[in-house]
């Protein structure tokens, strides 16, 4: 536990839709260690995104404890949470979420400007180095709409990593990409994880993506079913699907 970068204990998250209370997470426990390349899997509505939101400090738990980088997020102010996000967490979104009016370079530079720690030259060096790593150095002056989906997501990866965060959260990072490009993004993330030791937590329901993780946390109905190896997870999921398929074939 001492090595945990994320520690989640007995977390409950409920949404209120008018009078109805919709439980998204029902007592989740999870420890994530530094340098992990962790996949969160599960069908739609299982609570993947909610869990990521809590880890990413963009949402707070109804009950239970969420500790990120040793800080209990429930005890932090809005302002402190924002600072925590800026300094500790990098985000990769399903829809890339780049600022359309800024260039590739400016998009990646943005978090550094928010941090306001590096001088212009250092910033430039850092951004260009990352763009090299994601293979987009030649596209620095392009606008997001001039890039393909895969290229955009690579820009997003660069942006997420530019502040050298402890954790990078990716919510379905390949969902909007074709399988080949998705594969390339995951490979990129994995190599950065190995090079820098950055913790990656990403949600997915794609086996091929899951396979790259060093562990898979399987969620269903707001509960952690298991923390297992990718192979185990794939088999579980496949098994369930086959069973479902047989059930539907066998049905009268």
For position 116 contacting other proteins by CB under 8 A, the verdict is: yes
Rounded to a whole number of angstroms, the minimum distance from the CB of residue 53 to other proteins is 6
Report which of 97, 115, 123 is spatially closest to residue 165, judged by C-alpha positions. 115
Per-position x/- string for 83-112, each x denoting binding to other proteins as judged by CB under 8 A, each - no binding: x-xxx--xx-xxx-x-xxxx---x--xxx-
DSSP string for residues in 132-197:
HHTT-GGGTT--GGGS-HHHHHHHHHHHHHTT--SEEEEESTTTTS-HHHHHHHHHHHHHHHHHH-
Q: Which stretch binds other proteins (CB under 8 A): 3-11, 29-37, 48-56, 66-74?
A: 48-56
For position 56 contacting other proteins by CB under 8 A, the verdict is: yes
Q: 15, 67 in Cβ contact below 8 A?
A: no
Q: Which stretch binds other proteins (CB under 8 A): 21-29, 74-82, 179-187, 205-213?
A: 74-82
End-to-end CA distance of the chain: 51
CA 144 distance to own-chain centroid: 21
Which member of 62, 82, 183, 229 binds other proteins (CB under 8 A)?
Answer: 82
Other Cβ atoms less than 10 A from the Cβ of 70: the count is 11
Rounded to a whole number of angstroms, the minimum distance from the CB of residue 162 to other proteins is 10
| Interacting residues toward other proteins by CB under 8 A | 49, 52-53, 56, 58-59, 78-79, 82-83, 85-87, 90-91, 93-95, 97, 99-102, 106, 109-111, 113-116, 120, 123, 159, 163, 171
């Amino acid at each position: 536990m001492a090595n945990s970068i994320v520690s989640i204990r007995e977390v409950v998250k409920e949404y209120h839709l008018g009078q109805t209370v919709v439980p998204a997470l029902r007592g989740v426990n999870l420890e994530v260690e530094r340098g992990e390349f962790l996949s969160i899997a599960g069908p739609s509505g299982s609570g993947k995104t909610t869990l990521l939101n809590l880890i990413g400090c963009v949402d707070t738990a109804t009950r239970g404890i969420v500790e990120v980088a040793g800080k209990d997020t429930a005890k932090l102010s809005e302002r402190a949470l924002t600072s925590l996000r800026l300094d500790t967490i990098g985000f990769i979104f399903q829809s890339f979420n780049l600022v359309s009016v800024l260039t590739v370079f400016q998009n990646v530079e943005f978090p550094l400007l928010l941090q306001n720690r590096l001088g212009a030259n250092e910033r430039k060096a850092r951004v260009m180095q990352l763009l090299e790593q994601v293979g987009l150095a030649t596209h620095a002056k392009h606008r997001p709409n001039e890039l393909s989906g895969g290229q955009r997501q690579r820009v997003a990866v660069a942006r997420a990593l530019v502040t050298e965060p402890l954790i990078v959260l990716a919510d379905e990072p390949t969902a909007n990409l074709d399988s080949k490009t998705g594969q390339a993004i995951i490979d990129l993330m994995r190599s950065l994880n190995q090079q820098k030791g950055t913790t990656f937590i990403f949600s997915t329901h794609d086996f091929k993506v899951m396979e790259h993780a060093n562990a898979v946390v399987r969620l269903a109905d707001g509960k952690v079913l298991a923390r297992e190896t990718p192979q185990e997870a794939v088999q579980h999921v496949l098994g369930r699907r086959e069973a479902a398929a047989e059930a539907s074939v066998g049905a009268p």
